[in-house]
Structure 1
Amino acid sequence: YEGKLFKMQRIVSSLRDWNDFPPLSIVELLKEIFLLIESMESNQILIQKDFLNGLMDICKTQHPNKLVGLLGVKKGLVSEYILPSKSCTDPETNFEIFRPTCSIPLDVSNEGTFISRPSGDLSSNEELNLIFKKRRFTMLLGYPYENMDCIKCFDANGKTLEVVLRD
């Protein structure tokens, strides 16, 4: 990522869990590392298709309310989320920034942030630029939450990332 350094065990889930589970094959570890390298070089975010469909369904159910959450990456794919309580978000920033006092679990696999946009507006703004710097990526999901046109991802520098679905 253009001059940024990352600790491999932070963004490669197999390395994070290295001591907690029986050893995995070196082939599986290398697959995950190559997938990470491929997605970073091509400015892509790889998302598990079923996960994305579920996230869109939650956004539809909660519409017109805005949702904010964290996105977890496992085996190179965005495949899990944490929806914090309303007490974790700051109403003064339109619920887009997590309060520092919030007890969201500290988990390095939570590499991304997602924000639903009931207005359908997927453009960036100054508040979002602050959020981009806190995580590896930020995903915006806009109304009507039905297809890939309703999704936009940004890296920590605010550059647009391509969203790629995987089964």
Structure 2
Amino acid sequence: MPLTMYKLSIPAFKRGFSALGGLLDKAEAFAVESGTPLDELFNARLAPDMLPLSGQIQRASDTSKNAIARLTTLEVPRFPDDEKSFADLQARIVKTVAFLETVAAEDLDGSETREVTLSFPTLKVTFSGEDYLLKFVLPNFYFHLTTAYDILRHKGVPIGKADFIGSLE
């Protein structure tokens, strides 16, 4: 069976969010055991000019939803970036995954050739749908997942590669 835009996106997003939810669970347990305030983890960042943990999760959510919006004709939910707690971040993950579960393989049929144009302050780029997914969306999604992992690891949360990769079944 050939690879499809659906197989390259939706399962990867759902798996990433499953791992991210697990990382947040471990971070909360670590905070309780170590006496680390949850706000210290929630607002932690690797560098002053980078988004904090909460922002990394918000951007992973937005990246996946926006990709579906640009590659299909589906109406995607918009979530304000108003999360204030770990419970809020977990809820954001749940809402994002719930949306992704409504996307059918047929919704992405033909999207590999759909034209997607992104405008940045100093750059405008037009991709085929396939290039958009492979060269922009997936790297961006994994950047934010990895950065969330790195923030938690840097703060001492006992997580490892297996927590990031998740189940191999």
User: What TM-score comes out, normalization by structure 2 length?
Assistant: 0.23
Choose between structure 1 and 2: higher helix proportion: 2
Greater relative contact order: 1 or 2 (C-alpha under 8 angstroms, separation 6 or more)? 2
Larger Rg, first or second structure (1 or 2): 2
